[in-house]
Amino acid sequence: MKKRLFIAALALPFLSGCVASEQDVVSLDLRMRSVDNRLVNVEQKLAAIENQQMGSVESMQIRQAEVGNRTDQMANELLQIKGQLDDNSNSVQKLRKQQQAEDEQLASRLAEMEARVQELMERLNMATSDLQSTTTELRRYKDLQAKEAAERALQAAKRAEAAEKKSKEVAQQREITPAQQKKKPAAESADEEAPKKTAAAPAAAPAAAPAKKSGGAEQDAYDAAYALYTAGQFKKSSSAFSDFLDRYPKSNLAPNARFWIGDSYFSQKEYELAILEYQKVIADYPTDAKAPAALLKQGLAFEKVGDKQTANIVYQKLLDEYPKSEQATTAKEKLGK
């Protein structure tokens, strides 16, 4: 309305200076109304535009606020993500350091194990070499021991032969020569001859005589020799058993006779001669019951002459060849088994 009055006031001088007709006034009024309507429309449009602008500004402000909030939220989220990334990065670095330390430790342990394996291999090679050397030395030692035992047996046999020869020489020296016999009175000579004839007669068999029986003169000769042995007349018994073997070399009492010859020498402390006689029993009658007994007594004889090493060899031979014999128990005791 204020705009319309303003327009009317502007139009008054023009109207006062002209003669206006009613039609012109009506036309002018119509035009003014048209203008007024147009102004109203313009004002409405301006108001609409202003309202629209105000709504757009408010919407934009709201959107800006939302965007700001969203930006802040995203910034916070980014900060959180960055923090998580930093934590993850630190964790990864720690894991890498731990993995590196574990790899180094594992490599060190592997190196130590390789060195240990190498050392064990060297020791194993040395042990194998030592074992081979020891085996070779043991074989050499056994061969040498066997040679020494054979040599000792040979020497013992030689000593036994020498002792037997010496014994025969001494016995021959003690025999009465024909010249001495002529000097003695006839009665004395007859008295000396009588005991010889009596000794030649077979003696009664002792209660402890062996169970083997051949019968006849053969058994009587054996019993007579054994009676001399049990009576402690070892020189006479060895001679009597030797005569028995000369007369009955294939007798089933031959192993016993040879054994008692060895025992007669043993009782006289003629250990070398005893070893020789026991060896004859062992070699000539290996399946006879006297063989293990001869081995045991031979070992004892070697001990008597101070050869403990050979005695142990004999005892071990007794255990190996006659493990179920009565003498094996004594051999085990001697060997400390």
Question: What pLDDT sits at residue 28?
Answer: 76
Question: What pLDDT sits at residue 253?
Answer: 96
CA distance 45 to 39: 10
Own/partner pairs, 225-232, CB within 8 angstroms, 24+ separation: 225/257, 225/260, 226/260, 227/203, 228/203, 229/260, 229/263, 229/264, 230/206, 232/267
Question: What pLDDT sits at residue 176?
Answer: 36
Closest CA relative to residue 326, chosen from 299, 298, 290: 290
CA distance 219 to 257: 11
Give one DSSP letter per residue of 94-128, joined into a string.
HHHHHHHHHHHHHHHHHHHHHHHHHHHHHHHHHHH
196 and 236 Cβ atoms separated by less than 8 Å: no
Interval 221-249: pLDDT, tens:
999 999 999 999 999 999 999 999 999 99
Question: What pLDDT sits at residue 77?
Answer: 82
Interval 282-337: pLDDT, tens:
999 999 999 999 999 999 999 999 999 999 999 999 999 999 999 999 999 999 86
CA distance 46 to 313: 142
Question: What pLDDT sits at residue 204?
Answer: 31
CA distance 132 to 95: 54
Q: What is the pTM of this model?
A: 0.42
pLDDT mean values, one per 10 residues, the chain (337 residues): 55 52 73 80 80 72 78 83 82 85 86 83 75 67 60 62 54 40 37 34 35 71 96 95 95 96 96 96 95 96 95 95 95 88
